[in-house]
Amino acid sequence: MTPEHDAQPQSDRCDVVVLGGGSAGYATALRAAQAGLTVTLVEADLVGGTCLHRGCIPTKAFLHAAEVADAVRHSGQFGVHASLDRVDAAEVLQYADQVVSRLHKGLTGLVSGQGITVVNGRGRLVPGEGATPAVAVGDRVIHARHVVLATGSAPRSV
């Protein structure tokens, strides 16, 4: 191959391309795939987004560990006499990581099982064919009939 040929962007086609693999993005991708559409999901990090990996799920795992410790402290009122020796922060963190890992594995299996193509990278809208936009991820261009923006949010000071 010539260097000029190597420089040509890879082009893909699908019915729906979803930018963002967080809760809204993967739910949209799954629903579109269940409706029989071909779907490409573009995610810069890990499918599952902030909620699964750094937000809701790890926080709920920490909260569950705290509730278990609290239940032990108050178990005597139920006639169950137990003692709490200590809370090991490293083990609680390991527990939260295991929860996240298990859920991520299940989610990626579900996405894969629905035939959704996952492209890792930062996608950006680019001119497509006619009035239809396309999505570029590095040198790859994805043409789709529908583009869904599900890129999440960021806090902003006012």
**Percentage of residues of the chain with pLDDT beyond 90:** 84
Give pLDDT, residue 1.
41
Q: Is residue 108 included in any domain, yes or no?
A: yes
Q: Tens digit of pLDDT for each residue in 19-69?
A: 999 999 999 999 999 999 999 999 999 999 999 999 999 999 999 999 999
Structural domain including 35 reads 3-49+96-149
5, pLDDT greater than 70: no
Q: Is residue 13 included in any domain, yes or no?
A: yes
Q: Is residue 84 included in any domain, yes or no?
A: no
CATH code of the domain containing 142: 3.50.50.60
More confident residue, 156 or 94: 94
Query: Full-prediction pTM beyond 0.75?
Result: yes
Q: How far apart are CA 31 and CA 103, in angstroms?
A: 19
Q: Is residue 10 included in any domain, yes or no?
A: yes
Residues found in the chain = 158
Q: Is residue 57 included in any domain, yes or no?
A: no
- The total number of structural domains in the chain stands at 1
Q: Is residue 139 included in any domain, yes or no?
A: yes
